[in-house]
């Protein structure tokens, strides 16, 4: 399918979806915070729930920062800034989800944690609320086993940074209903994103392409190639916006570590575990990248 066909297909599907007014996001980290900002910027009231008050503060601060940049560039006025911020409702309680049309789960990339959070969420939402996971790699059909209503669940995979990356992968689990897919495609479009609907498997579409690249990069490092040199070539000469070491720091090395495990288990012959050793070493040393100031690079 060419780009035009994909857009037309997404528009057609979106027309059949439920119109979402109230969004909720679980997790206020890099992705949850970004998704909440994107929802609020597109006039959706957006509950942002975390278990850590510090994460909520950080999520609000990031949204504030992004909005102030927009203000400085003359893209929005002060009133829009205020209205957008008010659209984000930080919360520590499941009770705040009762109004949501769609809840997007964006907590840590752990199958067990996600399954538990999704099951708990299901107890607190309305009968027709759709649940979606922003998981990078974990099969949707696996996560749906913890749910009573798996037909109302699918993947909704945004990319980092959310406000800049146009793509959203919508993942159809083995029990996901057509109505759920339509609603989530419509929501992606409402949030200014281009959706592609993909089948379920570890890593879906994008991370089946991206992870072999990361593993190839760590293989080169294990052979003694300087990571900064690899970044320099990929950015400067090859022309990509960032090299693999910097990209891992932006993604979060903890997240890449968890996602790498899912990929290595999902494709044991093609994505051998030993190739992720370098990421494991950074993970064990708690060098998680930009989020805690130390990864491949140092962030002052």
> Does residue 87 interact with ligand NAD by CB under 6 A?
no
CB neighbours of 234 closer than 8 A, spacing ≥ 6? Answer: 240, 242, 243, 244
> In whole angstroms, how close is the CB of 183 to ligand NAD at the nearest point?
20
By beta-carbon proximity to ligand NAD, the closer residue of 17 and 33 is 33
* Site size toward ligand NAD, by CB under 6 A: 28
Catalytic residue chosen out of the listed positions 22, 157, 257, 258: 157
Longest Cα–Cα distance in the chain: 55
Rounded Cα distance between 135 and 115, Å, is 11
> Does residue 28 interact with ligand NAD by CB under 6 A?
yes
> Does residue 191 interact with ligand NAD by CB under 6 A?
no
DSSP bridge partners of 157:
169
**In the Cβ-directed half-sphere of 111, how many Cα atoms lie within 13 Å?**
17
Stretch that binds ligand NAD, among 11-19, 29-37, 172-180, 279-287 (CB under 6 A): 29-37
- Per the annotation, the verdict on 124 as an active-site residue is no
By beta-carbon proximity to ligand NAD, the closer residue of 49 and 190 is 49
Q: With CA atoms as reference, report the closest residue to 195 among 203, 112, 187.
A: 187
Residue tagged 């057509």 (tokens): 178
By beta-carbon proximity to ligand NAD, the closer residue of 135 and 141 is 135
- Six-digit token string for 190: 């409402």
Stretch that binds ligand NAD, among 80-88, 148-156, 248-256, 270-278 (CB under 6 A): 248-256
Rounded Cα distance between 197 and 156, Å, is 9
Say whether the peptide bond before residue 190 is cis (omega within 30 degrees of 0).
no
Please identify every residue annotated as catalytic. Answer: 157
Residues near ligand NAD (CB under 6 A): 26-32, 49-52, 55, 106-109, 113, 117, 134-136, 159-160, 251-252, 255, 259, 291
């Amino acid at each position: 399918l060419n780009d035009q066909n994909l857009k037309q297909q997404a528009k057609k599907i979106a027309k059949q979806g439920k119109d979402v007014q109230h969004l909720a996001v679980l997790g206020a980290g890099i992705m949850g915070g970004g998704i909440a900002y994107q929802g609020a910027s597109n006039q959706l009231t957006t509950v942002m729930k975390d278990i850590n008050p510090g994460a909520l503060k950080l999520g609000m601060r990031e949204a504030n920062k992004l909005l102030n940049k927009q203000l400085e560039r003359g893209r929005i006025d002060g009133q829009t800034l205020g209205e957008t911020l008010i659209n984000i409702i930080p919360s520590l309680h499941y009770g705040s989800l009762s109004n949501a049309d769609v809840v997007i789960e964006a907590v840590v990339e752990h199958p067990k944690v996600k399954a538990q959070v999704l099951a708990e969420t299901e107890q607190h939402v309305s009968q027709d609320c759709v649940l979606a996971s922003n998981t990078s790699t974990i099969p949707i059909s696996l996560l749906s086993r913890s749910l009573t209503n798996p037909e109302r669940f699918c993947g909704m995979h945004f990319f980092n940074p959310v406000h800049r990356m146009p793509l959203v992968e919508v993942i159809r689990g083995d029990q996901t209903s057509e109505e759920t897919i339509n609603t989530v495609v419509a929501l992606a479009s409402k949030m200014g994103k281009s959706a592609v609907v993909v089948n379920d498997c570890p890593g879906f579409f994008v991370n089946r392409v991206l992870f072999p690249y990361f593993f190839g990069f760590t293989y080169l490092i294990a052979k003694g190639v300087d990571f900064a040199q690899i970044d320099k070539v990929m950015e400067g000469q090859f022309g990509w916006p960032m090299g693999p070491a910097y990209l891992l720091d932006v993604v979060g090395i903890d997240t890449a570590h968890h996602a790498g495990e899912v990929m290595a288990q999902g494709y044991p012959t093609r994505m051998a575990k030993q190739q992720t050793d370098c990421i494991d070493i950074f993970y064990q040393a708690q060098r998680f990248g930009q989020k805690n100031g130390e990864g491949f690079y140092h962030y002052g």
